[in-house]
A and B are shown apart, each in its own frame.
Chain A
Amino acid sequence: MAGRRIVITSGKGGVGKTTTTANLGAALAKRGYKVVLVDTDIGLRNLDLVLGVEKRIVFDLVEVVEGRCQVRQALIRDKRFTSLHLLPAAQTRDKTAVSEAQMDALIGELAEEADFVLIDCPAGIEHGFRNAVAGAREGIVVTTPEVSAIRDADRVVGKLKERGLPHTLIVNRIRPEMVASGEMMTVDDVRDVLRTEILGIIPDDEEVIDTTNRGEPLVLDPNQRLAPIYLKIARRLEGEKIPLTRLESQTFLTKLFSIWKAG
C-alpha cells in the first residue's frame, strides 16, 4: 500500500512549518515508520539545516525532476534514524523549475517506498505552495495564536478545501501564562475561527531554537520537553485517539507541570 502524502503548510512564514516537519518526521521515524521529508522551498531551502545534513547534499529535488539523477541518489538518510530521509530542495534555482504535475509524480514515486511523505511547503500561496500541495493527499496547517498567522492559515485552509484535501491544524508557540492572563488567544479561539480539527498544540519553548541551530530534531532527545508532544502528535496522525491537553484552563502550578505532557 502506498504511503501517506502530507503537506505541512501555513501561508505565513516563520510559524514553524520546517521545525514541525523535521520533528514530526523524526517522531514518526522513531515510531518505526519509513519517512521521507521533502523540502519544496526551492531557492530558500532550510530543512537540511534543521536536520543537520546540509553538508551531505549532492543532488536535489530539481535534478531528480529533470532526470539528472535517480531519486535514491538524491535522498539523504539521517544518521540517527535510518528510516528518516530527506529530499533536499535546490538552492540555486527557483520555484518555476518544477511543475505541479512533476511534483505529483515525484511524491507518488516516494510514497511507493515510504509510509509517510511529509512535504515542507514554502510560505505564501503562489507557485511553490501550489507545487507542494499538488503532491499531497492531505494537509497539516501550522499556525500560531496571532491574528496575522490565523488570517493566513484561514486562507490556506480555504485553498486546501478547494482542492478537496482533508486537513488538520497544529497550533504552535502557545504560551500558557499569556493565555491565562488574556494576552494570548486561546486554542478554542483559534478553533472557532478556523473550524478545523486540531492535531496538536505545541507550547513555545526556547529549546526549539537551540536544537534548530544544532541541526538536531529535538525528538531525538527524550530529555527535551517538547519531544513527548511531537510523539503524541505522531500517534494522533497514525489515528490514535489521544485527547488534547488543555493548557489554558489550568492553575499556575498544574500549568507549569502540564507543559511536560501537553500536546
Chain B
Amino acid sequence: MLRGTKSGLEFVFAADAGDAVLSDLTARLSERPDFYRGSRATAIFQGAPLESDAFAGFLDTVRAHGIDLHGVYGAAELGPFAERHALAYLGEPPRPVVTSLGQRRPRKVVAALTERARSLEADFAGAREDIARRRARGETSVAKPDFAKAAAIRAGAASAGPTVAPPVLTVTPGTPATLYHRGTLRGGQILQQIGNIVVVGDVNPGAELVASGDILVFGALRGTAHAGAQGDTAARVAALELAPTQLRIATCIAADDVKHKAREPEVAFIRDERIAIAPYAKAGLR
C-alpha cells in the first residue's frame, strides 16, 4: 500500500505481502511517472522482509521515479535487510498501522447485540411497501427532497399570504459529500444530505437527519435519523447517546418502546434485515 503522510510517502507491506504487492506498487507508480518526484519515502514492514532480489528491483523502480526511499521501519530482523539495501533502519513502525482508512468493505459484526431495536412490522407494512415501490422507481426511499414540487405548492399558496422558506438548512444534491454541522438541532429542523452527516451537538426530538450515507452524532441523538436514505443497507447511525425517536436505515424502520439510557456510544446498522444496535466499542465496525 502506498500512502502519503506529513513526513512523506510510506510504502506499507502487510504481514502477508508477497511479490505481487511489489508489482502492484510498481504499476501504480508508473500510472503517474512524475507525480511523486522529489518525495522522501520510507518502507514499513508489518511482517517479515520481502525476498531480497525482488525488493532490490523495486527499489530501482522507485528511485527511477525520483523518490528518495531512505529508511525502513519494521521488527528488529529488518536491520540487516535494510543494511543490505543501503537503507537506514528506523526501528519499530512509528504507530499502529491502519490497513483500511476510509475504505468500504463488507462489514463483519462480532459483538453480541442488544435487543433494543424493535421493528414495527405490522404498523409499517404499508410504509415499507411504499418505500420499496419508490426505490423500484429509482426514487429516494423517503420522498422528502422533492423541493420543486413543494416550491410549486408554495407558489400556488402565495396569494394567501406571505410564505415561509422550508426549514431545510442544507441540501447538496449531486456528488456525495459529508455535511458537518456544529450546534444543537432543535425540533422542526432538518438536515438532508446526499452523502454523510456529522453533527457535533445534540439532535432533539422532532429534529430530523436524512442522509444517503452514514450519520454520526457527537452528542445525543433524540430525534429521527434516516441513514442510507437511497437504499444503502450498509449505512449506519452512530451517536454518543443513541436515544432516537425513530431510526431508519435504507428501508428498515425501528422505534424503541423502552426508555433506555446507554452509558456508552452506540451504533445502529442493519443485520438480518432489521435494525440492530450495539455498543460502538464492541460492534467491531470500522
A residues adjacent to B (C-beta < 8 A): 43-45, 54-59, 63, 66, 68-70, 72-73, 76-77, 91-94, 96-97, 99, 127
* Contact sample, A vs B, 20 pairs, CB 8 Å cutoff: A55-B245, A55-B255, A55-B256, A56-B120, A58-B124, A58-B127, A66-B150, A69-B143, A70-B130, A72-B126, A91-B206, A91-B208, A92-B166, A92-B190, A93-B166, A96-B160, A96-B161, A96-B163, A97-B154, A127-B160
- The A-contacting residues of B in range 189-204, CB under 8 angstroms, are 189-190
Name the contact of B245 in the complex, choosing from A54, A72, A96 (C-beta under 8 A). A54
Can you list the 8 inter-chain pairs with the closest CB atoms, starting with the nearest?
A55-B255, A68-B143, A73-B126, A92-B190, A58-B127, A91-B206, A94-B164, A73-B127
Of B124, B153, B161, B205, chain A has the most CB atoms within 10 Å of the CB of B153
- In the complex, are the beta carbons of A99 and B157 less than 8 A apart? yes
Rounded to whole Å, the gap between the CB of A168 and the closest CB of chain B is: 29
Rounded to whole Å, the gap between the CB of A201 and the closest CB of chain B is: 34
Question: How many angstroms between the C-alpha atoms of A93 and B123 in the bound complex?
Answer: 24
Whether A92 touches B127, Cβ cut-off 8 Å, given contacts A55-B256, A99-B157, is no
- The A-contacting residues of B in range 242-267, CB under 8 angstroms, are 245-246, 253, 255-257
B-side contacts of A96, CB under 8 Å:
154, 157, 160-161, 163-164
Given A44-B188, A92-B167, A97-B153, output 10 extra A-B contacts at Cβ < 8 Å. Answer: A55-B257, A66-B149, A68-B143, A68-B146, A69-B127, A69-B143, A93-B166, A96-B164, A99-B157, A127-B161
Question: How many angstroms between the C-alpha atoms of A63 and B150 in the bound complex?
Answer: 10
Name the contact of A69 in the complex, choosing from B130, B245, B255 (C-beta under 8 A). B130
Question: How many angstroms between the C-alpha atoms of A68 and B153 in the bound complex?
Answer: 13
Rounded to whole Å, the gap between the CB of B159 and the closest CB of chain A is: 10
B-side contacts of A97, CB under 8 Å:
150, 153-154
Whether A99 touches B160, Cβ cut-off 8 Å, given contacts A66-B153, A73-B126, A92-B167, is yes
Question: How many angstroms between the C-alpha atoms of A142 and B161 in the bound complex?
Answer: 28
- In the complex, are the beta carbons of B187 and A91 less than 8 A apart? yes
- In the complex, are the beta carbons of B189 and A92 less than 8 A apart? yes
Name the contact of A76 in the complex, choosing from B123, B156, B206, B253 (C-beta under 8 A). B123
- In the complex, are the beta carbons of A55 and B188 less than 8 A apart? no
Rounded to whole Å, the gap between the CB of A44 and the closest CB of chain B is: 8
A-side contacts of B245, CB under 8 Å:
54-55
Rounded to whole Å, the gap between the CB of B165 and the closest CB of chain A is: 9
B-side contacts of A94, CB under 8 Å:
164, 166-167
Rounded to whole Å, the gap between the CB of B167 and the closest CB of chain A is: 6
Question: How many angstroms between the C-alpha atoms of A135 and B189 in the bound complex?
Answer: 28
- In the complex, are the beta carbons of B188 and A43 less than 8 A apart? yes
Residue-wise interface mask of B (207-225) relative to A, using a CB-CB cutoff of 8 A (1 in contact, 0 not): 1100000000000000000
Of A63, A92, A97, A99, chain B has the most CB atoms within 10 Å of the CB of A92
- In the complex, are the beta carbons of B188 and A92 less than 8 A apart? yes
Rounded to whole Å, the gap between the CB of B205 and the closest CB of chain A is: 7
A-side contacts of B253, CB under 8 Å:
58
Question: How many angstroms between the C-alpha atoms of A93 and B165 in the bound complex?
Answer: 9
- In the complex, are the beta carbons of A59 and B153 less than 8 A apart? no
Question: How many angstroms between the C-alpha atoms of A69 and B206 in the bound complex?
Answer: 20
A-side contacts of B208, CB under 8 Å:
91-92
Shortest Cβ distance from B224 into A: residue? A57
B-side contacts of A68, CB under 8 Å:
143, 146
Name the contact of B255 in the complex, choosing from A43, A45, A56, A91 (C-beta under 8 A). A56
Rounded to whole Å, the gap between the CB of B140 and the closest CB of chain A is: 11
Rounded to whole Å, the gap between the CB of A218 and the closest CB of chain B is: 20
A-side contacts of B205, CB under 8 Å:
54
Rounded to whole Å, the gap between the CB of B107 and the closest CB of chain A is: 26
Rounded to whole Å, the gap between the CB of A224 and the closest CB of chain B is: 22
Residue-wise interface mask of B (143-176) relative to A, using a CB-CB cutoff of 8 A (1 in contact, 0 not): 1001001100110110011011011000000000
A-side contacts of B120, CB under 8 Å:
56
Name the contact of A70 in the complex, choosing from B126, B207, B257 (C-beta under 8 A). B126
Question: How many angstroms between the C-alpha atoms of A90 and B187 in the bound complex?
Answer: 11
Shortest Cβ distance from A99 into B: residue? B157
- In the complex, are the beta carbons of B188 and A91 less than 8 A apart? yes
Whether A57 touches B146, Cβ cut-off 8 Å, given contacts A91-B206, A92-B190, is no
- In the complex, are the beta carbons of B255 and A73 less than 8 A apart? no
Shortest Cβ distance from B149 into A: residue? A66
A-side contacts of B127, CB under 8 Å:
58-59, 69, 73
A-side contacts of B150, CB under 8 Å:
66, 97
